[in-house]
Structure 1
């Protein structure tokens, strides 16, 4: 069964955000978006409302929409969530790798890091770069092999599903990559405390930029 139009509009808008096609402090009209998506205004309006409920965009009465600028409290919540969830996962993965150096999740992380190198130049496609960034974090969460934890990767909390936050202050890709390297290095050394600390540094990088 095909998606309802509002769901299709939502997915397309999310992809546009993920690809960096929306800019902070720039207003976009409902009519403009509907034309770009080749849809009527009703499903687009419903999709926009869902994104507003998720605090990814702000609806400006009679003025259109714009990307949501996180409040200080929201940034703090993202920081705490990332450390609590991903920090625990990286620590457990380091322990698992110490017992089994053939761990499939660590192998996948290494491949992701190799692929990310091709997108460290800020002129290369942001969407492709962020897809790899996101996959890195997804592998960390999935490595726990706990269905509940894996379901959290779809959460609006944390920094995992908010590429627009990296675009806000132009978080350097090299800095993010360096954080990933530090996390992976600690995991490969079986040092769970260093892996947790590296994850905290990564979350702190994002928080400082915001």
Structure 2
């Protein structure tokens, strides 16, 4: 019974986390305003424990700042932080792309290429859907996480998961405001093609190009 209760609590914490995260991304929670744990507990009709646990995860992802005895503040995402995230992504994901290029002939490598190409087909299909931006962002996350996970390096995977979560606001904003969907998809195709060439340097450079274009677009959307 205790085990079931623990599972239920973990599930509730995950739901609260997703609720708060989406509220931040959508702008429902305003940057700089203070929100108490009790405010969310009352709003969701739950205890403060899962709220507190969800807030701690958001704090770990640098999305909120916890003020002792006051509550939480949504942290602004500034261009300087975006640049640092892009630099870190290049180091980890560029390396991961080169590792995949070197291991194309393995069973794992072949399977991943199949999954990446299937993901690209889905990206292509949703371009004209009504909620294309949200669907594309989800597929984009799956695409990039799959390449990083290929390294079997849990540290890489956890770091990228955290950074991508923090970057979701900027990702959605840049996709929507600049209509970047087609360009991002083409860059994904280029990356997969260069990985399939088996040339690790070409794979790294393709990912570097993707990050350079991503940063250029985000610079258009954000002030310093």
Compute the TM-score of the two structures, normalised by the length of structure 1: 0.75
Instruction: Say whether residues 1:52 and 2:59 are aligned partners.
Output: yes
* Structure 2, gaps ≥5 residues long: 220-224
Give the aligned partner of residue 11 of structure 1.
Answer: 14
* Structure 1, gaps ≥5 residues long: none
Give the aligned partner of residue 76 of structure 1.
Answer: 83
Give the aligned partner of residue 178 of structure 1.
Answer: 186
For the residues of structure 2 that align with 1:8 and 1:35, how far apart are their CA atoms? 18
Give the aligned partner of residue 23 of structure 1.
Answer: 26
- Taking structure 1 as reference, are residues 127 and 207 closer, same or farther at Cα in structure 2, changes over 3 Å only? same
Give the aligned partner of residue 154 of structure 1.
Answer: 158
Q: How many Å apart are 1:59 and its aligned residue? A: 5.3
For the residues of structure 2 that align with 1:10 and 1:158, how far apart are their CA atoms? 17
Q: Is the 8 A contact 1:183 1:195 kept in 2?
A: yes
Q: How many Å apart are 1:15 and its aligned residue? A: 2.8
The worse-fitting range, judged by mean Cα deviation, of 188-197 and 8-17 is: 8-17
Instruction: Say whether residues 1:194 and 2:185 are aligned partners.
Output: no
Give the CA RMSD over aligned residues.
3.4
Compute the TM-score of the two structures, normalised by the length of structure 2: 0.71
- Taking structure 1 as reference, are residues 22 and 33 closer, same or farther at Cα in structure 2, changes over 3 Å only? farther
Q: How many Å apart are 1:19 and its aligned residue? A: 5.7
SS of structure 1 residue aligned to 2:198? coil
Q: How many Å apart are 1:34 and its aligned residue? A: 3.2
The worse-fitting range, judged by mean Cα deviation, of 155-164 and 45-54 is: 155-164
Instruction: Say whether residues 1:91 and 2:91 are aligned partners.
Output: no
- Taking structure 1 as reference, are residues 39 and 20 closer, same or farther at Cα in structure 2, changes over 3 Å only? closer
SS of structure 2 residue aligned to 1:155? helix
Bigger helix fraction = 2
**Which of residues 154, 161, 173 is equivalent to 1:168?**
173
Q: Is the 8 A contact 1:91 1:193 kept in 2?
A: yes
For the residues of structure 2 that align with 1:120 and 1:19, how far apart are their CA atoms? 22
